[in-house]
Structure 1
């Protein structure tokens, strides 16, 4: 059977469309591709976004900047030295964009002006860190993206 050029073009279009549809269907039903929201309570967190902006601005206005340094022991979060460490409370959240099962949170408990996150808790790659802390009734927030 002889196929002319018009039939060949139509068959090529049909093959290309079938190829694209195959990958669309495969990616939409594949369990390895997780299409969930970043957080389970995403909409609730979005409503409280103005509070985060205010906390970041408060940290800038009150010279309550944190420093985050990578050391041999792990990740070192250094709080301002002019703040009393016994009055600092809060939470540190580490978020891994590539795998939500590696995310973790822990409370801030200081004995010195720095907080150490052990190296064995952090895998190589990108991490988003958010330190939300309070000092004498004022809330501060520090967010940073790290390549560990």
Structure 2
């Protein structure tokens, strides 16, 4: 049997396709390569979407915006001065798209009009921050993607 460039090309293509298939199967079945890109309660969250839209609209209608920035101590969230801090009740949820194990939430406990998420709770990279709070029986929702 004679070996020519056509047969070499076919064998090379088959070897490459085999490598790609091995890579795809390994990445999609091995637990150590698991990437959580959506929440587990996706459909339940979708049902409450109009409530979220209304709460986000309430947040948008505030005279001042919720500000946040990185500091030496962690991530600092500043609530608008127009809100009386003793009446704010809610939670802050930090979601890490690449690793569900790093997700956490904190109750809103303000110092002045500031809330500090400690540096030791956050790892460098992308986070989605969600602040849900109630003020004077109105629901408010703030969402933002941040890079820590």
TM-score under structure 2 length normalisation: 0.87
- Following superposition, the deviation at residue 37 of structure 1 comes to 5.5
Matched length: 148
1:1-148 aligned at under 5 Å gives the runs: 2-36=2-36, 38-63=38-63, 65-148=65-148
Structure 2, unaligned runs of 5 or more: none
Distance in 1 separating the partners of 2:13 and 2:114: 62
- Following superposition, the deviation at residue 32 of structure 1 comes to 1.4
Of the structure 1 ranges 119-128 and 11-20, higher mean CA displacement relative to structure 2 is found in 11-20
Distance in 1 separating the partners of 2:73 and 2:28: 42
Q: Using a 3 Å threshold, how does the CA distance of structure 1 residues 14 and 136 change in structure 2: closer, same or farther?
A: same
Q: Using a 3 Å threshold, how does the CA distance of structure 1 residues 25 and 46 change in structure 2: closer, same or farther?
A: same
8 Å CA contact 2:52–2:141 kept in 1: the answer is: yes
- Following superposition, the deviation at residue 38 of structure 1 comes to 2.2
Structure 1, unaligned runs of 5 or more: none
Distance in 2 separating the partners of 1:35 and 1:77: 28
Secondary structure in 1 aligned to 2:2? coil
Q: Using a 3 Å threshold, how does the CA distance of structure 1 residues 27 and 70 change in structure 2: closer, same or farther?
A: closer
| CA RMSD after TM alignment | 1.9
- Structure 1 ranges of 4+ moved more than 4 A: none
TM-score under structure 1 length normalisation: 0.87
